[in-house]
Amino acid sequence: MILTKQQSRVFFLEERAKLTPAETEHLSRLIAGRLFHILTERSVRYLHSFLGADSRQEVDTRLLRQLLQTKIPALDWATPRIIPGTRRMEHYVWDDTTVFSVNRWGIDEPDASSAQIFDLRSIDAVLVPLLAYDRQGNRAGYGGGYYDRFLAECRSDTLKIGLSFFEPIDAISDVNAWDIRLDFCVTPFAVHRWDY
Ligand SMILES: Nc1nc2c(c(=O)[nH]1)N(C=O)[C@@H](CNc1ccc(C(=O)N[C@@H](CCC(=O)O)C(=O)O)cc1)CN2
Ligand SMILES: Nc1ncnc2c1ncn2[C@@H]1O[C@H](COP(=O)(O)OP(=O)(O)OP(=O)(O)O)[C@@H](O)[C@H]1O
């Protein structure tokens, strides 16, 4: 299947909408198990993650953090907040004390007044949200360009790990110069890797 970013967004939004809460929980648990092996193999210490929105049937990264925390207690987590009125994000520590509030898109974000700023240069790996990705590691999100901008600011050796409930399409046909490719994509049933 070869689709444009826009076609792939429509297709995967529909696929995701078919998943029940029980299914997303089960599939997220399978993703956590595969992710564990990558994080330990690559000695990841500082991990950045989006906050998956249940209302959008995203991967349940709260559950991922809960499961991985017991297996890798030394792992430090960070999570983003959109700077209002911009297409940029700032980054905060995500620990058991972090207070979240829902933004206008139904996505939980750390409360800027109480959360602690996280230095983006220390991040070893980023869990990247996506709607679609292809066999070359190209991705498409909701179209805001938030992650393209953020990943461009990260260290060049920061691992970009996509999370998806689905397998890749053959190609996204309209890849742009600013698009940043994934190093890995973890699904419930496979790990795809382009980090060679
Ligand atoms: N959980 C999570 N957090 C994330 C992302 C994500 O994909 N998942 N993002 C990944 O980049 C950024 C948020 N990106 C978003 C981009 C557009 C819309 C959105 O709903 N847009 C409107 C249409 C366009 C518009 O009004 O600008 C819509 O769909 O109704 C929401 C989030 C940052 N945080
Ligand atoms: N590094 C960048 N600097 C400036 N503008 C950028 C950058 N990256 C992307 N953009 C802008 O962001 C817009 C959206 O890009 P694209 O359609 O690839 O989003 P996406 O990858 O689906 O979204 P997201 O990264 O939020 O998940 C593009 O129109 C582009 O102009």
- Taking CA atoms, 62 is separated from 6, 50, 96, 154, in Å, by 28, 9, 11, 23
CA geometry: angle 91, 138, 24, nearest 5 deg: 65
* Phi, psi angle pair for 47, to nearest 5°: -120, 130
Looking at the CA of residue 144, tell me the nearest atom of ligand 1. 16
What percent of the chain shows pLDDT beyond 90? 98
Annotated binding site: 5-9, 51, 58, 139-147
- The span from the CA of 27 to the CA of 167, in Å, is 13
User: In this predicted structure, what is the pLDDT of residue 195?
Assistant: 84
- The string of pLDDT tens digits covering residues 14-39 is 999 999 999 999 999 999 999 999 99
Q: Which of 35, 57, 65, 77 is nearest to 192 (CA)?
A: 35
Instruction: Count the residues in the chain.
Output: 196
> Which ipTM did the prediction report?
0.90
CB atoms within 10 A of CB 30: 14
- pLDDT digit of tens for each residue in the chain (196 aa)? 999 999 999 999 999 999 999 999 999 999 999 999 999 999 999 999 999 999 999 999 999 999 999 999 999 999 999 999 999 999 999 999 999 999 999 999 999 999 999 999 999 999 999 999 999 999 999 999 999 999 999 999 999 999 999 999 999 999 999 999 999 999 999 999 998 6
Q: Is the CB of 55 under 6 A from ligand 1?
A: no
Q: Which of 69, 57, 2 is nearest to 25 (CA)?
A: 57
Domains for the chain: give ranges and CATH numbers.
Answer: 2-193 (3.40.50.10420)
Determine which residue's CA is closest to atom 31 belonging to ligand 1.
105
pTM value is: 0.96
Q: Is the CB of 58 under 6 A from ligand 1?
A: yes
User: In this predicted structure, what is the pLDDT of residue 86?
Assistant: 95
Q: Is the CB of 162 under 6 A from ligand 1?
A: no
Mutate to test the pocket of ligand 1, among 60, 142, 148, 182 (most ligand atoms within 8 A of CB): 142
In angstroms, what is the span from residue 139 Cα to ligand 2's centroid?
Answer: 11
